[in-house]
Amino acid sequence: MHEGLLAGIKVVEFTHMVMGPAVGAILAELGAEVIKVEPLGGDATRRLLGSGAGYFPMYNRGKSSICLDLKAADGLAVARRLAAAADVVVENFRPGAMDRLGLGADALRAENPRLIYCSEKGFLPGPYEDRTALDEVAQMMGGLAYMTGPPGRPLRAGASVIDVAGGMFGVIGVLAALERRHRTGEGASVQSALFETTAYLVGQHMAQKAVTGKPAAPMPARVSAWAIYDVFETADDDQIFVGVVTDGLWAKFCTLFGLDDLWADEGLRANNARVMARETLLPRVRAELKKFTKAELIARLDGSGLPFAPIGKPEELFDDPHLLAGGGLSPVTLDDGRETRLPVLPIAVDGQRTGGAATLPQPGADTRAVLAGIGMDAAEIDALLAAGAIA
């Protein structure tokens, strides 16, 4: 684990759900000290069920927790002292909420001019900025759901891709601002937003319209850039994706599966010609691949240079040999003490992965240590605890 990449950087986050916590989670894994400010009783995200049950453990590993009553003057005073000692503040509350508390960017940077203040919002400044947004709202509004589902059936992506990508863009902004601060000593206000993140991700489809003059079709109905680029049925009623994305790979594919007659057809040697012949070519290829089990296809395709993938499920990644061998999963102790493994950042620095064993912070478990770290003595901390401003 690269503990030193952001060593010495202190982050205070006022966040909940996914987008804001993702910023702190990434910075924590890169070595920053991240203090999560929770309401008394803990972040409500901890108690979500169903599809939200994984939010807290995935995006809050390796952080410290302090619980503050931000409606109390003493709690707000503690929050301001934390921000005054921080390098970075992260928040993802509704527009104006932090300003009303006196914890907005202008107020905190007036006390700490070197502060990098990162706001994760639904929309960047503009006509929509006061609207409430969620990952799903942005996917629907920004065209991603339209592109994901079949025509007439918009479908959100199967993970919180906009929340997480928006958090990643927030981190990019924070790191760029920290680099400028190294040169100038000046802090910054950084914003990232769900809607604009979605627009960036579907930008390739906007560019397609600009280039071709035709709107991009939803992915299930698209005309693929390649003839063989699909999910195929196997002999054992499983599925596998195979892509033939160059003319050289077409030659390999034909050799690998004994499709001598297809290779002999010089009219199929060029990719665009194969795309035009897709309606007649695909049934032949489907029938050929259907002769093999999934295991047989994997054995044949592995090492060939052809892109392929068995159709995996998230729960299967716990035992994925590549992730396990490469350090792609890191031990995590859940709230109830059970051990699991969760993915680390998908990067390596100097050949090493960034993740390491981590625990989830219990609500307020680090309150005393955090406050002592900004110069409060035991008597002052005891008085705040007794007053109910902190926990």
CA 143 to chain centre: 19
Q: Which two tokens stand for residue 56?
A: 């807290």
Residue 283 in contact with residue 227, Cβ under 8 Å? Answer: no
Residue 289 in contact with residue 228, Cβ under 8 Å? Answer: no
CB environment 343-368: b (16+ within 10 A), e (fewer) = ebbeeeeeeebbbbebebbebbebbb
Catalytic residue among 87, 163, 237, 260: 163
CA distance 93 to 113: 22
Residue 234 in contact with residue 293, Cβ under 8 Å? Answer: yes
Q: Examine the residue annotation and report whether 336 is marked as an active-site residue of this protein.
A: no
Q: Give the side-chain half-sphere CA count within 13 A for 259.
A: 20
What residues form DSSP beta bridges with 36? 13, 65
CB environment 15-34: b (16+ within 10 A), e (fewer) = bbbbbbbbbbbbbbbbbbbb
Residue 238 phi, psi dihedral angles, 5° rounding: -115, -170
Catalytic residue numbers? 163
